Amino acid sequence: MKNVVKVFIISVLSFAAFAQEDGASLCAESKQQAFERLSKQRYGRIAYPGDDKIDVTYYKLNLNISFTDRYIKGETTINFKTKSTTSTCFFDLRNALKVDSIKLGTKKLAFVQETEKVNVTLDKQYTEGQAVSVIVFYQGKPNGSAFGSFVFSTHGSGNAPIVWSLSEPYGSPDWFPCKDSPADKADSSDVWITMPSAFVSVSNGVLTQVLANKDNTKTYQWKNRYPIAQYLISIACSNYTEYKNYFKYSATDSMTINHFVYPESFTTATKTQLDQTPFMLKLFSEKFGLYPFIKEKYGHAQCGFGGGMEHQTCSSMGSYGSSLVAHELAHQWFGDKITCKNWENIWLNEGFATYGEAIYAEAVGGKSAYQSTINNNATRAKRATGSLYVQNINDVFGGIFESNRSYYKGSIVLHMLRGIVGDDKFYQILQNYLKSSVAYGAATTEDFQKVAEETTGLKLDYFFKQWIYGEGYPKYTYSWNPSEISKALKITIAQSTNTNPVVFSMPVDIKILMASGVEITSTVFVDKATQEITFSKPEGVISQVIFDPDNKILKDVSENKVISAITANEADQVLVTWNVFPNPTDNRNAEPQVVVSFDLAKKAETEVEIFDKLGRKLKSEMVENLISGNYSKQILLSEFSSGIYLVRLRINDKYFGKTLIVK
């Protein structure tokens, strides 16, 4: 029992911490800050596609870094295969780093260095598919700033030195020659870092050895044998304290989790945060498939920015809140194992990682925590402008890493897909995607759509076309006929969007609540600007009709309740009209309240009731023996939390319902 209680307390504390911070915002902020300087440098061609004549298969970075001089001397080995017959190629490299020479075996190659690339003349003409290996020797001071792709900085009261990289999306050429395209992943990589002995130097993959050199330096040799995009190659070097966890993935095997933390940050609270990582690895492995770099490691390296960056096998972190840790870990599947093929499809990285935060919230806090995360994401998603498919990838701030769009709306697209196909099929889609032909490669939206359709047997072109390539979100207005005499229930639905007159097509759940407490839910396909849906009317009095009761759709929705005037056939009906206002209402006001107003045709006994979404009666106010006329009832809401409630008005033995939203 003690163990159970301990786990429960950890889960509650984890969710409490999770609820206080936002991994997606922190991730977006760190990447935006890293490239704040790009707008100042005015690169003529930021969105660089790399040389399409070559296919890179391997990188080896051998770096000798001087913190004192803010200087690097590098040797980068680049193995590639030719994609067509050619005697030339080029590598992306900013000219702050000067190339000394380029060798192919023992031969020195001719080259011309420009502002952003190095043009190389090979030793001969190579035909398609031939393998070539060159070494580029270079040196210089990398372009850097307070937040840059390669940074020399300090931390702590003692100003301990630190060197770190953050290359997404266009920063790799700031510190090593490469093909600057996420579509061309190398099959493997090595990173060797030589710095003074006080530095612990961290990179991708596994540490093969640490060499103590005669000049009081150490060389850390890191080996990665999984495919890797150029921007996911990283370094982080400082006076780190190393802290380890273990992820047990089989009865006999476990993988090391290596955390590299500033000594001044290595506190009990930090340990508690880092100790969440094994649980997250287990959770995501269950949901997505086994951690994709299981033969190497996972870990974190603390760096000098507020957010995080999902460097392969070792995320660079500015803090360790559970939301941020979950976000960067989810990236190891979505972003690292499968990388967006181009920056236009960045939602395949960031939207998926942001949804990983919601999955973690659900695991530790249940459905209510999941829905709270989704509600927050939806609020941000409604602020997005433009399509989820990025139209201008030269704009890092308002384009690629615009968080409302790439992160929050991307996550809501996955939430909506889950609502359409159901939980089992949704997670099967994710697992099949991660095992598909683009596994350890690069993908577009169409690759993901293909897997989703093959997994479910559904045609989802309408869904992806409107939510990925379209703009905005639908605004629905609905009304229903409450007549007790009619044998049919008619629901009229109208929709518009917040941006343009395009009509969205979506399956929508409609829930009918009866005064008896019975609930009936049906799914209808709404695909017109205005449409009328007819249901066979259930026996009894309908209290309420709720549009999308489980909030599966990114939308605005309002109900226009129609109450018929008295007719000869309904002579016993005494209610002419009624209303609830303000709606939505705000429980943060000094005296939060709602007013129920109603117009009676004759004397009646009246009761106002308020129920929560589970049908529990929270409040009841009697208004007895009223004569005809207009009346209102004021109800205090100080004890009500934010949420959706049902206000039910009883007139004699008749019931009428309206939705009340409390903010």
- 574-623 pLDDT, tens per residue? 665 677 778 778 776 767 777 777 777 777 788 888 877 666 678 888 87
Q: In the structure encoding, which two tokens stand for residue 148, read together?
A: 């840059």
Side chain identity at 558, as an amino acid letter? S
Does residue 150 have a pLDDT over 80? Answer: yes
Nearest-CA neighbor of 375 among 16, 22, 31, 29?
22
Q: From CA 141, how far away is CA 373, in angstroms rounded?
A: 43
- On the question of pLDDT at 8 being above 80, the answer is no
Confidence of residue 30 (pLDDT cuts 50, 70, 90): low
In terms of pLDDT, which residue wins out, 575 or 107?
107
Q: Residue 346 — very low, low, confident or very high, per pLDDT cuts 50/70/90?
A: very high
The pLDDT value recorded for residue 145 is 44
Tell me the two tokens of residue 225.
Answer: 């044998």
State how far the Cα of 227 lies from the Cα of 143, in Å rounded to an integer. Answer: 27
Helical residues (DSSP H) of 308-346, grouped into ranges? 322-331
Write out the two tokens for 562: 């129609």
Sheet holding 556-559, edge to edge: 530-536, 488-497, 474-480, 556-559
Q: What is the pLDDT of residues 537-559, one digit of tens each?
A: 777 778 889 999 999 999 999 99
Least confident range from 4-8, 50-54, 219-223, 607-611: namely 4-8
- Render pLDDT for 413-471 as a digit per residue (tens, 0 to 9): 999 999 999 999 999 999 999 999 999 999 999 999 999 999 999 999 999 999 999 99
Band of pLDDT at residue 100, cut at 50, 70 and 90: very high
Distance CA 530, CA 2 (A): 58
Q: What number is the average pLDDT over the span 105-126?
A: 97
DSSP conformation class of 378: H
CA nearest to 94, candidates 144, 164, 145: 144
pLDDT of residue 639: 79
Structure tokens at 412: 């809501």
Query: CA 268 to CA 278: how far, in whole Å?
Result: 17
Region 165-175: what's the mean pLDDT? 95
pLDDT at 563: 47
Using CA atoms, how far apart are residues 493 and 533, in angstroms rounded to an integer?
8
Tell me the C-alpha to C-alpha distance, in Å, between residue 97 and each of 25, 93, 422: 33, 7, 52
**What is the structure's pLDDT at 3?**
35
pLDDT of 400 higher than 90:
yes
Q: Residue 649 corresponds to which tokens in the numbers above?
A: 């008005």
Which tokens hold the place of 295?
Answer: 């033969």
> 162-166, 303-307, 659-663: lowest mean pLDDT where?
659-663
**Which pLDDT does position 28 carry in this prediction?**
64
The burial class, CB within 10 Å (0-12 / 13-18 / 19+), for 382 is: middle
Q: 3-class DSSP state for residue 182?
A: coil
Tally of CB atoms within 10 A around 419? 19
Residues above pLDDT 70, as percent of the chain: 86
Q: Within 13 A of 481's CA, how many CA atoms are on the CB side?
A: 17
Dihedral, CA of residue 46, residue 49, residue 54 and residue 55, to nearest 10: 110
Name residue 570's amino acid: E
Q: Are 115 and 96 in contact (CB under 8 A)?
A: no
Residue 16's pLDDT is 42
The number of beta carbons lying within 10 Å of the beta carbon of residue 504 is 22
In single-letter form, the type of residue at position 604 comes to: A
CA max distance for the chain: 104
Average pLDDT, the chain: 88
* Closest CA relative to residue 623, chosen from 600, 639, 645, 640: 600
- Output the pLDDT for position 608: 84
* pLDDT exceeds 80 at position 628: no
Q: How far apart are CA 432 and CA 451, in angstroms?
A: 7
Distance CA 94, CA 236 (A): 21
Tokens at 397, concatenated? 């701030």
Q: Identify the DSSP state of 205.
A: S
β-partners of residue 104 are 107
Angle of helix 410-421 versus helix 445-456 axis, rounded to 10: 10
- Kindly compute the dihedral angle of the four CA atoms of residues 432, 316, 403, 172, in this order, to the nearest 10 degrees: -90
- Model pLDDT, residue 33: 59
pLDDT at site 562? 59
**Orientation of helix 410-421 relative to helix 461-468, angle to 10°:** 160
Of 251-265, 363-377, 485-499, the one with minimum mean pLDDT is 485-499
Three-class SS state of 65: strand
Both tokens of 56, joined, read 């890179």
Which span out of 9-23, 235-249, 510-524, 548-562 was modeled with the highest average pLDDT? 235-249
pLDDT score recorded for residue 647: 81
d(CA 135, CA 118): 13
pLDDT band per the 50, 70, 90 thresholds, residue 625: low
The band of 488, judged by pLDDT with boundaries at 50, 70 and 90, is: confident
Residue 201 is given by DSSP the state E
Q: CB-based burial of residue 89 (10 Å sphere; 0-12 exposed, 13-18 middle, 19+ buried)?
A: buried
Q: How far is CA 492 from CA 366, 531, 532, in A?
A: 34, 6, 4
The CA distances from residue 410 to 286, 319, 354, 380, 403, in Å, are: 22, 24, 8, 11, 9
**pLDDT, mean of residues 181-206:** 98
Q: Assign residue 159 a region (left: φ > 0; alpha: ψ between -120 and 50; beta: otherwise).
A: left
Q: Say which DSSP state 281 is in.
A: H
Q: What are the distances in angstroms from CA 282 to CA 289, 446, 452?
A: 10, 29, 24
